[in-house]
Chains A and B, each alone.
Chain A
Amino acid sequence: MKVLTEKGIYRLLMIIALSAIAMLLLIVLFILKEGLPFIFITGIRDFLLSSEWKPAAGKFGIFPMLVGSLWVTLGAMIVGVPLGLAGAVFISEFIPRWAMKIIKPTIELLAGIPSVVYGFIGVMVLAPLIRDYFGGPGLSIAAGAIILGIMILPTILSISIDSIKAVPNSYREGAFALGATHWQTIHMVVIPAARSGIVAGIILGLGRAIGETMAVIMVVGNAVKLPGSAFDSVRTLTANIALEMGYATGKHREALFATGVVLLVIIMVLNYFAASAIKRGVKK
């Protein structure tokens, strides 16, 4: 086995690494190449802030989709974050070890359930409830937000549990020694210590909510309009791409790639915040 010398292996690994990076760069460059020219020709302002999306008439404004994505994601956060956080704190601080052994795998199982299954439950169970009790078409921001909120729960839960568990026991002991109650210990010592991990979990969940496509197409109704209430139908950026991608040619296709660019930028910014949140945690 002297075919691969030490140097050969070094080269081989370098080639592998570079090609992997090249592949990933290829995607970004490809999307940018197809989408950016369109954005510059249309004008960033017109593209982002015009609310008329009529591809057949050559009108491409993604403002309604931006707003749609924003509301649905925000709603998902409102639903998912408190539940996820409370669950994580309770499970990691109060649940005995043996029960954890059952709960953790269940949560991981739920993280693996295909999003379309969540979407379908949204259509069958949630949308009719919303329609009956709040009016509107049922397929709405509220339905999307609740379904996405539930969908990101496992992500938030499992990352937060891990980071709360990682807080050294000596911190808790210190607080108890000072006469703090268990709750005081949790919200004054444990949560601040685990903050960066929790923030990272939330941001990951946020990313998943923004990026989710098929489940969202199923539950939000996909109307291109600025929503008047939480019970109106909207279309998200991802849904816009998936619904029309098959058809798109020429300008229309470029516009969808441009939508992809916007999505990409949003995700990059989010990741940047996530990375700096984690770094802050490490520095401390």
Chain B
Amino acid sequence: MIIHPRHTQIIAISMLVILTVFTLAILVFIILFVFSKGLPYISFDFLFSNPEDMGKAGGIFPTLIGTIVLPLLAIIIATPLGVGTAVYLTEYTRENRITRIIRFGADCLAGIPSIIFGLFGFIFFVTTLEMGWSIISGSLTLAFMILPTIIRTSEEAIKAVPYSYREVGFSLGATLWQTVRKIVLPNALPGIVTGIMLSIGRSIGETAAVIFTAGSSLRIPNSVFDSIRTMSVHFYILAREGISSKNAYATAAVLIISILLINLVTYWIMNRFIAKKTK
């Protein structure tokens, strides 16, 4: 039996519609579920007061600090390394077997489960280097985790800068570094920033690698050698241990809102750069 193409088209497209609606429905459900249970409990007090009774009551202020400090430090450590590596790979060496191996290595590491980084960070930073569960161990581990992403995205962004731009630089008598600094990097910046923002998002959402390296202390830290808890870890502990589902949902809602904000900032930066370039 041969079905007329027009009929297969109708069947296929209605299938697509059903599946798409279903997919979007699930995804929207998740956001709405968390917001409906969490938003009512978010208040100024919730954000900026200390938790009491292991998080059963009170706010999430220390975890807010943790969520800002850990990814920030990780980015500060990983960005120069990652962008520097990308510049070196794209501008200062020729494509050869070694760069291919490095790239394959970075790709493999980008796919490594975070728990492996946690395992490494726990044994290496926390135990061997005796840094203990601390902000510094946690952010170093996170830096390792996001380094491959930053290398790869920066590399793509730098490669996407047309070669003619560089030629203009060279023809004006600029050195390689001057060309890189004044022409290539500014033009690659939106791509690099996207990579960084992606990495921030990933570090904020990370639980497995953080809980084993930064610990889960609920106090406001005195120094980078103190343990800290991020919002994701806080949510995990609240939800898992059944301490307070109300505070757990509220924390999750704050998390989603912060990720939304980060995404919006990324879009804004990208648009600004694109607008500038077309001007």
Let me know if chains A and B touch directly in the complex, using CB atoms closer than 8 Å. Answer: yes
Q: Is the CB of B232 within 8 A of A114?
A: yes
Of residues 9 to 42 in B, which have CB atoms within 8 Å of A's CB atoms? 9, 12-13, 15-17, 19-20, 22-24, 26-28, 30-31, 33-34
Q: Is the CB of B118 within 8 A of A242?
A: yes
Q: Which of A9, A20, A187 has the most CB of B within 10 A?
A: A20
> Which of the residues B5, B85, B113, B148 comes within 8 Å of A16, measured between beta carbons?
B85
Given A6-B176, A86-B15, A116-B236: A20 touches B9 (CB 8 Å cut-off) = no
> Which of the residues B17, B80, B112 comes within 8 Å of A267, measured between beta carbons?
B112
| A105 nearest CB neighbor, chain B only | B263
Given A110-B27, A117-B255, A181-B6: A23 touches B144 (CB 8 Å cut-off) = yes
Of residues 167 to 210 in B, which have CB atoms within 8 Å of A's CB atoms? 175-177, 201-202, 204-208
Contacts of A106 in B (CB 8 A): 27-28, 31
Q: Is the CB of B23 within 8 A of A87?
A: yes
The yes or no answer to A70 lying at the interface (CB within 8 A) is no
A51-71 interface bits toward B, Cβ cutoff 8 Å, 1 = contact, 0 = none: 000000000000000000000
Of residues 142 to 185 in B, which have CB atoms within 8 Å of A's CB atoms? 144, 147-148, 151, 175-177
Of residues 220 to 243 in B, which have CB atoms within 8 Å of A's CB atoms? 232, 235-236, 239-240
Interface size grouping (class) on chain A: 35 or more
A-side interface mostly: helix
Of residues 104 to 153 in B, which have CB atoms within 8 Å of A's CB atoms? 104-109, 111-120, 122-124, 144, 147-148, 151
Segment of A40-48, A129-137, A204-212, A225-233 engaged in the interface with chain B: A204-212
**A244 to B181 Cα, complex, angstroms:** 48
Q: Is the CB of B177 within 8 A of A6?
A: yes
Contacts of A28 in B (CB 8 A): 105, 109
Q: Is the CB of B80 within 8 A of A16?
A: yes
Segment of B44-52, B56-64, B68-76, B87-95 engaged in the interface with chain A: B87-95
| A206 nearest CB neighbor, chain B only | B111
Contacts of A21 in B (CB 8 A): 85, 102, 105
Contacts of B144 in A (CB 8 A): 23-24, 27
**A212 to B9 Cα, complex, angstroms:** 38
Q: Is the CB of A268 within 8 A of B259?
A: no
The yes or no answer to A100 lying at the interface (CB within 8 A) is no
Contacts of B120 in A (CB 8 A): 27, 30-31
Closest beta carbon of chain B to A204's beta carbon, Å: 7
Q: Is the CB of B15 within 8 A of A113?
A: no
Interface size grouping (class) on chain B: 35 or more
Given A17-B89, A27-B117, A257-B119: A268 touches B108 (CB 8 Å cut-off) = yes
> Which of the residues A153, A210, A271 comes within 8 Å of B108, measured between beta carbons?
A271
Closest beta carbon of chain B to A72's beta carbon, Å: 13
Closest beta carbon of chain A to B256's beta carbon, Å: 6
Q: Which of B16, B34, B252 has the most CB of A within 10 A?
A: B16
> Which of the residues B19, B92, B208 comes within 8 Å of A214, measured between beta carbons?
B208
Q: Is the CB of A114 within 8 A of B12?
A: no
Q: Is the CB of A218 within 8 A of B23?
A: no
The yes or no answer to B248 lying at the interface (CB within 8 A) is yes
Contacts of B23 in A (CB 8 A): 83-84, 86-87, 153, 157
Contacts of A271 in B (CB 8 A): 104, 107-108, 111
| A27 nearest CB neighbor, chain B only | B120
Contacts of A204 in B (CB 8 A): 111
Closest beta carbon of chain B to A23's beta carbon, Å: 6
B243-263 interface bits toward A, Cβ cutoff 8 Å, 1 = contact, 0 = none: 000001000100110011011
**A252 to B105 Cα, complex, angstroms:** 28
7 CB contacts below 8 A, A to B, read A13-B92, A31-B116, A106-B31, A116-B239, A123-B239, A150-B26, A181-B9
Q: Which residue numbers of B lie inside 8 Å of A, CB to CB?
A: 5-6, 8-9, 12-13, 15-17, 19-20, 22-24, 26-28, 30-31, 33-34, 80-82, 84-85, 87-89, 92, 102, 104-109, 111-120, 122-124, 144, 147-148, 151, 175-177, 201-202, 204-208, 212, 232, 235-236, 239-240, 248, 252, 255-256, 259-260, 262-263, 267
Q: Which residue numbers of A lie inside 8 Å of B, CB to CB?
A: 4, 6, 9-10, 12-14, 16-17, 19-21, 23-25, 27-28, 30-31, 34, 82-84, 86-87, 89-91, 94, 103, 105-118, 120-121, 123, 125, 150, 153-154, 157, 180-184, 186-187, 204, 207, 210-214, 218, 238, 241-242, 245-246, 256-257, 260, 263-264, 267-268, 270-271, 274-275
